[in-house]
Amino acid sequence: MDFLSNLQLGFSVAFTPFNLLMAVAGVMVGILIGALPGVGPPSGVAMLLPLTFGMDPTSGIIMLAALYAGTMYGGTITAVLINTPGESASVVTCLDGYQMALQGRAGPALGIAAFGSFIAGTVGVVLLSLVSPLLAKWALSFGPPETFALMLLGLTTCTLLAGEDPLKGYISMVAGLMLAMVGFDIISGDARYGFGVPEMMDGVDFLPVAIGLFGLGEVLGGAEQGKTQEVRGKLRLRDVMPSVADWVRTRWAIARGTVIGFTIGVLPGAGPTVASFLAYTVEKKVSSEPEKFGKGEIKGVAGPESANNAAATAAMVPMLTLGIPGSATTAIMLGGLMMWGLRPGPMLFEKNPQFVWGLIASQYIANILLLILSTLFIPLFVRAVRIPYSILMPLIVVFCITGAYSLKNNVWDVGQMLIFGVLGYIMKKLGYSPAALVLALVLGPLAERALRQSLIISDAGVGIFFTRPISGVLMVLAIAVVAVPAARALLRR
């Protein structure tokens, strides 16, 4: 009965008028952000994080989590209508979604994506609320070696999955860790790499970095292409309601997508993007008519779209229970948690139950809101996609600047944001991974503390990471993630 009373506590928090309003705002803004090409979930969460500083942390995370769920659906709108994924988890949706739109079936494509997302998201939250407390309880027994091994695993998987060239992924990750070394050392108190600049002594804040890399970096990339695409036709509410035939056709695709999405999302380091790709591959493999994929197969929309929502929900599991984010977006949320003065990890469930359960309960509500708002306001969102980039881009930059400034009310952070904006633009051009950098920057200080504490316990013996059963398994996995692809690349030569 512990579970039910916790959930009841959660709903009592989530159902306060202000928190409900925040959930609605989060979903609406999330769909918009997802729908606008050039702003993805990480930049959306990073840019809106400063808005939450004046709020209660629970309201803040409710808004950000609702926003994350919203972006997953928003990305679908552009993927289907203009063949441009609004965010990376909707890349595969373009394949069949856009083909459906060309055949005049944009409505059903968006409709089935909305309903699939709702089903997958809701199942995801149920699993989240069942799995998280157990995992948190188990994780309470983790010492510094386990924590370090888990972080290493999260970093290596995220990096491996982040881009095409794993080597550049690892370079991005190590660069993030190096940035994390700047500032006061938590154990000795040395001010590292400060060069006598007072602002540097505090270290490199993840927020200006994230806003720069994702927000400004993407704007600069978009400025270079600088065109808005034509949106075909009009969409009415009636058009997006899936027919019975569509339901029958996609029911298993949605179910499979949900399972794949949740499983992938729970893994530290793998998020919605990987889940949607995998779901698409699976749908194509199990289909009796694989030749239809890529030509407007509705299952090719339903599967991945369900998977990315389930994964976005599941990504909360490692973030809340272990303090290990599964993606760039949850890494930024985790950073937010720390800014609000909360310590992410298993203790969160014991110390801040109203926060954790409020968030979980609000996710149930957010999924219902997502379904209602995404179908009711579809004409509005379609219109938003039509906003010319020449208007959108300057507005995003202004939001990046105010966001970076309001972190500590200084121009230094804005300058930092600018520098990382340019860096993010170059990184993307050359195939490096901004996501791996941000994840490493957020995890860096935590990983260093765990590493050094472990070495103090073991009297400087590295064996401590391998002799303890849990950390041993995690370390072997982390090493395998790096070594296996490297070995395969060598053998192929």
Partner 1 sequence: MRSADRVTAVLLLAFSAAFAAGALKYYSWWGSGGPGSAFLPFCLGIVMALLALLMLAKTFRSSSSTEGEWLPRGEGLRHMLVVLGVTVVFVALLKTVGMILGTAIYLTIMIRTLGKHPWWMTVAIACAAAGFNWLVFVHWLRVPFPEAGIWIF
What span, in angstroms and rounded, lies between the C-alpha atoms of 453 and 457?
6
Nearer to partner 1, 103 or 225 (CB): 225
Quick check: 188 binds partner 1 (CB under 8 A)? yes
Number of H helices, E strands in the chain: 24, 2
Quick check: 51 binds partner 1 (CB under 8 A)? yes
Residues 6 or more apart whose CB falls under 8 angstroms from that of 405 comprise 411, 413, 414
What span, in angstroms and rounded, lies between the C-alpha atoms of 221 and 233?
28
What DSSP element (H or E) covers 480? Answer: helix 469-492
Among 136, 158, 216, 298, binds partner 1 (CB under 8 A): 216
Number of Cβ within a 10 Å radius of residue 122:
21
Q: How far is the CB of 444 from partner 1 (least distance, A)?
A: 9
Nearer to partner 1, 299 or 428 (CB): 428
Quick check: 171 binds partner 1 (CB under 8 A)? yes
Between 2-14 and 17-35, two packed helices, what is the crossing angle to 10 degrees?
A: 80
Quick check: 18 binds partner 1 (CB under 8 A)? no
Nearer to partner 1, 218 or 283 (CB): 218
Judge contact between 440 and 181, C-beta under 8 A: no
Widest Cα–Cα separation across the chain: 69
Nearer to partner 1, 186 or 286 (CB): 186
Q: How far is the CB of 61 from partner 1 (least distance, A)?
A: 17
Quick check: 405 binds partner 1 (CB under 8 A)? yes
Among 24, 131, 223, 476, binds partner 1 (CB under 8 A): 223
Q: How far is the CB of 158 from partner 1 (least distance, A)?
A: 16
Applying CB under 8 A, the span of 77-85, 261-269, 335-343, 409-417 interacting with partner 1 comes to 409-417
The contact pattern for partner 1, residues 330-369, with x = CB under 8 A and - = no contact, is ----------------------------------------
Reported as half-sphere exposure (CB side, CA atoms, 13 A), residue 272 has a value of 35
Quick check: 54 binds partner 1 (CB under 8 A)? yes
Judge contact between 46 and 339, C-beta under 8 A: no
What DSSP element (H or E) covers 191? Answer: strand 191-192
Among 263, 406, 472, 482, binds partner 1 (CB under 8 A): 406
What span, in angstroms and rounded, lies between the C-alpha atoms of 359 and 62?
6
What span, in angstroms and rounded, lies between the C-alpha atoms of 11 and 129?
12
SS3 labels along 122-187: HHHHHHHHHHHHHHHHHHCCCCHHHHHHHHHHHHHHHHHHHCCCHHHHHHHHHHHHHHHCCEECCC
Nearer to partner 1, 192 or 295 (CB): 192
DSSP label at residue 273: H
Among 119, 401, 446, 464, binds partner 1 (CB under 8 A): 401
Quick check: 398 binds partner 1 (CB under 8 A)? yes
Q: How far is the CB of 225 from partner 1 (least distance, A)?
A: 7
If phi > 0 it is left, if psi is from -120 to 50 it is alpha, else beta; for residue 468 that is beta
User: Comparing C-alpha atoms, which of 69, 132, 75, 13 is closest to residue 367?
Assistant: 69
Applying CB under 8 A, the span of 74-82, 169-177, 315-323, 461-469 interacting with partner 1 comes to 169-177
Quick check: 109 binds partner 1 (CB under 8 A)? no
Among 230, 289, 291, 459, binds partner 1 (CB under 8 A): 459
Q: How far is the CB of 456 from partner 1 (least distance, A)?
A: 3
Quick check: 394 binds partner 1 (CB under 8 A)? yes
What span, in angstroms and rounded, lies between the C-alpha atoms of 144 and 132?
20
Encoded tokens for 216: 């400004």
Whole-Å CA distances, 385 to 34, 174, 218, 237: 10, 37, 17, 17
Applying CB under 8 A, the span of 3-11, 81-89, 135-143, 391-399 interacting with partner 1 comes to 391-399
Among 36, 393, 474, 478, binds partner 1 (CB under 8 A): 393
Quick check: 448 binds partner 1 (CB under 8 A)? yes
What span, in angstroms and rounded, lies between the C-alpha atoms of 370 and 121?
10
Quick check: 102 binds partner 1 (CB under 8 A)? no
Applying CB under 8 A, the span of 230-238, 243-251, 275-283, 448-456 interacting with partner 1 comes to 448-456
Coil, strand, or helix at residue 192?
Answer: strand
Quick check: 143 binds partner 1 (CB under 8 A)? no
Q: Which residues bind partner 1 (CB under 8 A)?
A: 50-51, 53-54, 167-168, 170-171, 174-175, 177-178, 181, 185, 187-188, 190, 192-193, 216, 219-220, 223-226, 388-391, 393-395, 397-398, 401-402, 405-406, 409, 411, 414-415, 418, 422, 425, 429-431, 448, 451-453, 455-456, 459-460
